[in-house]
Amino acid sequence: MNIISRVICFFLSAVIAAVLSGCVSQSQIEISSDDEFQRMRTSMPLSNNLTDRAYVRCVALSIIEQLDEPYASYDWEIELFDSQDVNAFAMAGGKIGVFSGLLNVATNQDQLAAVLGHEVAHVTEDHTLERANRDAVTRNVAIFGSEVLDASTGLETTDLMVFGAQVGLMLPYQRSAESEADTVGLIYMAAAGFDPLASITLWTNMAKVSGGAGPPPWLSTHPSGDARIAELAGEMIDILPIYNKALEEGRRPNCRH
């Protein structure tokens, strides 16, 4: 290999290395999360049901009390959005959002705690940062590869490559993150004194609402309902002692709804 070829190879290696690095920092994630959370607060209707707002806050704070540092000391912001969507989320930096439609499916404090414990676990386990960097890598690889192919073939390939990259790289990681968040979330809710068995009835409720419809498990960012229920049931041998200890120590939230 002559010197020019070596220089070209070195240059291409450096370019590829730069493309492959996500390089998204925790501080960037927290800034973006705060911006998005405040945007949602100003652009989406907020629930004016004071009882529901106090109820959601009570469950969320009970979960937060079980967190390790630095998460326990975050200035957590908790919001209830007036939307019939059955959903909730937690963001880096200490943001929790609940859509009021979730309260029709998570019908008691234990079921709501199962959802919020899971969402908070995504934050404490750094899934947001990991996913952001994975997204950056996927997007950069897709753009880089598509530009190379476009130049040689004249075809628009970005959308196809992005989809392929998501299926090949993103979904397996996201499924494992969901399972990890389920496990860690169970620990949080049980330690707070919420009945972890409610996580199973929650997903039974979810299945009824969806009518069993949904994407196949291999092409979903969440395990299927049946698979999730089986996994949650398998965790109970380790989680129930945590719950029993919480009860013995007098931890049993009374979040009225």
Torsion on CA atoms 70, 76, 81, 85, rounded to nearest 10: 20
pLDDT of residue 115: 94
Q: Which residue has the higher pLDDT, 13 or 190?
A: 190
Phi, psi of 65 (to 5 degrees): -60, -20
Q: What confidence category does residue 211 fall into, taking pLDDT thresholds of 50, 70 and 90?
A: low
> How do residues 15-65 score in pLDDT, each as one tens digit?
344 444 456 677 777 888 889 999 999 999 999 999 999 999 999 999 999
Q: Is 65 a catalytic residue?
A: no
User: Which tens digit of pLDDT belongs to each residue from 8-17?
Assistant: 344 334 434 4
According to the per-residue pLDDT averaged within each range, which of 128-142, 173-187, 190-204 is highest? 190-204
Reply yes or no on whether the pLDDT at 184 is more than 50: yes
pLDDT value at residue 232: 81
- pTM attached to this predicted model: 0.73
Residue with tokens 């969507």: 85
| Vertex 131 angle, CA 155 and 164, to 5° | 25
Q: What pLDDT, on a 0 to 100 scale, did the predictor assign at position 75?
A: 94
| Least confident range of 98-112, 159-173, 179-193, 237-251 | 159-173
Residue 113: band (very low, low, confident or very high) from pLDDT cuts 50, 70, 90: very high
Name the E strands within 160-248: none
Q: Is the pLDDT of residue 185 over 50?
A: yes
Which of these is catalytic: 79, 119, 178, 235?
119
Q: Where are the alpha helices (DSSP H) in 65-170?
A: 109-124, 127-153, 158-165
Confidence of residue 248 (pLDDT cuts 50, 70, 90): very high
Count of other CB atoms within 10 angstroms of residue 227: 15
**Mean pLDDT, residues 130-134:** 61
User: How much of the chain, in percent, has pLDDT values that exceed 90?
Assistant: 46
Name which residue leads in pLDDT, 96 or 218: 96
Whether the per-residue pLDDT at 106 is higher than 70: the answer is: yes
